[in-house]
């Protein structure tokens, strides 16, 4: 039985920020791991052709492996493309291979090209229950990210505690509003995660304060510190929670996952 509260319906969360290197993938996989380790059933959808989330979760994603490309472009059933994360019970992954780089082009010729992921998830939910779907996005606002924004109900933005942290967030918010108005009325920014916080610098604290001013309700209390263990874990095909649970980075992501589960959807 789960130790974390189960939502009434699957919470579909997209982790987005079109800036690269801000901690999207790290946040997606480690929050997913934290939720699954709390006894919840979690699906990670890797929508980045780089396949970094697939790497961190230790699933096959060599070229030619059935994954997000086949689901989006060929209409392959999502349930048949899933892989189980070996180290974490209750965690499944829809992997991304480099083939997904061709999806932006492949999708142009398909019908309803923005709603392919949403349709695939709707079918999937009919015979597979999960509490959370966490979607990792590439660092761009193309068709892959658009599919993710249309499929999700909630958006989670990781913000790196660095110079120009809010740069690009304005554009992302504009995109969210466009999607909200046209393709997905339910999309709501519910969660902002401060990542790579460096307690030794004033800059990190200043950025954190600024972000808390902008997103008072959305920012998690838990801040993710910069930690070597977090950066190392993917090279072992692991999340930091399985790699070194006692590390500060793992503890922070675990707390962040608990916070997300306990806040629920109703807070906002
Ligand atoms: P994105 O998906 O937004 O491009 P990543 O999650 O891949 O960003 O993170 C970018 C880089 O920063 C990666 O090398 C990752 O290992 C590292 N990183 C992310 N979070 C942390 C952290 N809390 N401490 C140290 N390194 C981190
Ligand atoms: Mg990434």
Cα 226 to ligand 1 centre (Å): 9
Is residue 36 scored above 80 in pLDDT?
yes
For residue 191, give the 3-state DSSP assignment: strand
C-alpha 104/C-alpha 94 separation (Å) is 18
What pLDDT, in 10s, does the model give residues 55-86? 999 999 999 999 999 999 999 999 999 999 99
3-state secondary structure (DSSP) of residue 225: strand
Q: Which among 118, 117, 102 has a CA at the least distance from the CA of 72?
A: 117
- Judged against a pLDDT cut of 90, whether residue 181 lies above it is answered with no
pLDDT of residue 104: 87
Q: Whose CA is nearest to atom 20 of ligand 1?
A: 23
Atom of ligand 1 nearest to the CA of 28: 6
- Predicted local confidence at residue 129, as pLDDT: 96
Question: Which amino acids bring their CB within 6 angstroms of ligand 1?
Answer: 20-26, 52, 139, 195-196, 224, 226-227, 230-231, 249
Q: Which helix (H) or strand (E) holds 12?
A: strand 11-15
- Tell me which residue has tokens 């992997």: 95
Q: Residue of the nearest CA to atom 26 in ligand 1?
A: 231
Domain ranges in the chain? 11-262
Please state, in angstroms and rounded to a whole number, the distance separating the CA atoms of residues 187 and 146.
12
What is the structure's pLDDT at 266? Answer: 60
Spacing, Cα 136 to ligand 2 middle (Å): 7
CA angle, 68 then 71 then 74, to 5°: 125
Q: Of 178, 86, 94, 176, nearest to 130 (Cα)?
A: 94
Q: Which atom of ligand 1 is nearest to the CA of 22?
A: 3
Backbone φ and ψ of 104, nearest 5°: -55, -40
| Close Cβ partners of 62 (under 8 Å, ≥ 6 residues apart) | 97
Task: Pick the atom of ligand 1 nearest to 195's CA.
Answer: 23
Burial class of 39 by CB neighbour count within 10 A (0 to 12, 13 to 18, 19+)? middle
Nearest CA to ligand 1 atom 22: 226
pLDDT tens-digit profile of 210-240? 999 999 999 999 999 999 999 999 999 999 9
Ligand 1 atom closest to the Cα of residue 252 is 23
Phi, psi of 225 (to 5 degrees): -80, 155
Report the mean per-residue pLDDT for the chain. 95
Instruction: Out of 19, 20, 21, give the residue to mutate to test ligand 1, the one with the largest number of ligand atoms within 8 Å of its CB.
Output: 21
Best residue among 15, 140, 226, 231 to mutate for probing ligand 1, ranked by most atoms within 8 Å of CB: 231
Angle at 249 between CA 246 and CA 251, to 5 degrees: 50
Which fold is adopted by the domain 11-262?
Rossmann fold (3.40.50)
Q: Kindly give the distance from the C-alpha atom of residue 155 to the centroid of ligand 2, in angstroms, as a whole number.
A: 15
What is the gyration radius of the CA atoms in the chain, in angstroms? Answer: 17
Query: What is the reported pLDDT for 167?
Result: 81
């Amino acid at each position: 039985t789960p130790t974390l509260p189960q939502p009434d319906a699957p919470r579909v969360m997209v982790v987005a920020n079109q800036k690269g290197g801000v901690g999207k993938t790290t946040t997606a996989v480690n929050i997913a791991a934290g939720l699954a380790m709390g006894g919840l059933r979690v699906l990670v959808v890797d929508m980045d052709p780089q396949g970094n989330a697939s790497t961190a979760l230790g699933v096959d994603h060599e070229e030619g492996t059935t994954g997000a490309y086949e689901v989006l472009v060929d209409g392959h059933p999502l349930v048949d493309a899933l892989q189980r994360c070996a180290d974490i019970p209750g965690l499944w992954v829809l992997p991304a291979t480099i083939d997904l780089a061709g999806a932006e082009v492949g999708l142009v010729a398909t019908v309803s090209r923005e709603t392919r992921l949403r349709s695939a998830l709707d079918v999937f939910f009919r015979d597979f229950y999960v509490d959370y779907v966490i979607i990792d996005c590439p660092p761009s606002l193309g068709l892959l990210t658009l599919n993710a924004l249309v499929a999700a109900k909630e958006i989670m933005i990781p913000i790196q505690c660095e110079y120009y942290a809010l740069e690009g967030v304005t554009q992302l918010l504009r995109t969210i509003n466009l999607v909200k108005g046209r393709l997905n009325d339910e999309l709501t920014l519910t969660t902002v995660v401060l990542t790579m916080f460096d307690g030794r610098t004033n800059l990190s604290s200043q950025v954190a304060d600024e972000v808390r001013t902008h997103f008072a309700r959305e920012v998690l209390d838990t801040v993710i510190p910069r930690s070597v263990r977090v950066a190392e874990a993917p090279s072992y095909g692991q999340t930091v929670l399985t790699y070194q649970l006692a590390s500060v980075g793992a503890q922070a992501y675990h707390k962040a996952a608990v916070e997300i589960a306990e806040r629920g959807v109703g807070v906002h």
